[in-house]
Amino acid sequence: MKRLSNLLVVIIPLVLLWACSSHPYSKTNRDHRQQAKQYSKELRQFPPRHGGDDSLHYGPIWVGTTNFNLRKPNYVVIHHTAQHSVDQTLRTFTLPRTSVSSHYVIGRNGEVYQMLNDYYRAWHGGIGKWGNNEDLNSSSIGIELDNNGYEPFSEELIESLLDLLHVLKDRHGIPTANFIGHSDIAPSRKVDPNANFPWKKLAEEGFGLWYDDIAVTPKVLGDSLKVQDQDLTRTRQLRVAKSEVMVGGSSTDSLDITINPREALRIIGYDTSDMPAAVRAFKLHFIQKDIQPVLSDDELKILYNLYQKYL
């Protein structure tokens, strides 16, 4: 028995050492748990202690309300990794010096890696803006897709993404319009996910909005004004069929519509302080070809159709 005990004393540490060495992220997982534990300790501390608040005139007793819950995410921001493998991305997100992270990473083979609890604030969005929200990291879930930035997205990856989006939408009640891309919130800095990303397919599943098919190949019932210059802020007037504007309508009478590109893009959510960048981001998401800061008549009609959905 003594011999067996001595043998176990030798074997057990070896087994534990092997188990740790076989898991490439055992150290970062341990660091993750320690950091989460520290945050949990701070949240449990009541009243919270903040440096420099001794000058505040507190009441004689501390009263903790029972009416609270966790802060919930309200957006999903989709990225491509711009790296060569999911392993490279997982390593990047576990190196402190990179200061970048995401809640989920999905590999080309469809494997899903959750790296943070949904309620934690990941560092995935950087400096960006969508509507009046200038801190997307604090209100969003980041999803990174294993893609080098130029290649098509694999079917396995997209199917896993759709499964994940269904879970997140049901879990957090995220509005349909709030599934967006990194390039949408940072048009002057980012181009992900790339033009191969199937935004229309996602919209058909309830994740993001898309324009109506009737606006894809519009029938112009008269001469429309051409966008001849680079001034993307002027109001444009286009002559179209009523059925293009009133989806499902049977009338084919002509109708003049007026659209201000800057205002329409702003209503959708784009930061229009840099109009060429905003137009490129819009086209990357909804047109997915000829990503130049120029809007043709057909693209203006698509923009008109979309901004009405965001009103």
pLDDT digits (tens, 9 = 90+) for 270-310: 999 999 999 999 999 999 998 999 998 889 989 999 999 99
Mean pLDDT over 64-75 rounds to 91
What is the pTM assigned to this prediction? 0.84
Res 231 pLDDT > 70? no
pLDDT digits (tens, 9 = 90+) for 121-130: 999 999 999 9
Helix (H, G, I), strand (E, B) or coil at 104: strand
Domains delineated in the chain: 75-204 (3.40.80.10), 213-310 (no CATH)
* pLDDT confidence band for 220 (50 / 70 / 90): very low
Res 240 pLDDT > 70? no
CA of 227: how far to CAs of 20, 217, 284, in Å? 63, 18, 19
Cα 45 → chain centroid: 33
Q: Are 229 and 220 within 8 A, CB to CB?
A: no
Catalytic residue among 144, 205, 244, 299: 144
Active site includes 144?
yes
- In whole numbers, what is the pLDDT of the chain averaged over residues? 85
Of 18-22, 172-176, 257-261, minimum mean pLDDT range: 18-22
Residue among 100, 210, 98, 174 nearest 144 (CA): 100
Residues composing the chain? 311
